[in-house]
Amino acid sequence: MGTTWYSNLATRKSIYMIPFLHGHFSYLILVIIFLVLPTIVFWIYGYKQLLEYKWTLSIITGISLIVGAKWDIYAVETEIWKFYPETTLGTFYRGVPLEEYLFVVMAAFCLASLTIILVKKKKYV
């Protein structure tokens, strides 16, 4: 009998066809590519506007870290999802890898920065 497309999903090798997405740095590399680098671009583009909102960015990032960390810890403890040591640096705090905390912080910081730039430019208001 044939297997379904979703069987053995954890052992599928398709993502390993991309050389830099193999091993302990894969999650960290994805966070850098999709969150850290865009945030750097936003700050290069709109640093004057963003500096005016440094406290707002700090508060948003802090609240996101608190809420995101609590959610991730709950999700791991109740087995809603899990993180594989093979794709992380292997350093965990309460079952959540350090890269996930970086993801939560950078996602909030990146999106808040983009929102401030767009509102200040009045392109999407």
Domain segments of the chain as ranges: 23-121
CA pair distance 82, 29, nearest whole angstrom: 19
Grade residue 24 by pLDDT with cuts at 50, 70 and 90: confident
Give kind and range of the element (H or E) at residue 96.
Answer: strand 96-97
**What is the tens place of the pLDDT at every residue in 65-116?**
999 999 999 999 999 989 988 889 999 999 999 999 999 999 999 999 999 9
Per-residue pLDDT at 10 exceeds 60? no
Of residues 13, 113, 1, 125, the one with CA closest to residue 61: 113
CA pair distance 69, 118, nearest whole angstrom: 28
CA pair distance 27, 43, nearest whole angstrom: 23
CA pair distance 88, 97, nearest whole angstrom: 7
Structure confidence at residue 11 (pLDDT):
52
CA pair distance 73, 89, nearest whole angstrom: 18
The Cα diameter of the chain in Å comes to: 63
Burial of 66 (0-12, 13-18, 19+ CB in 10 A): exposed
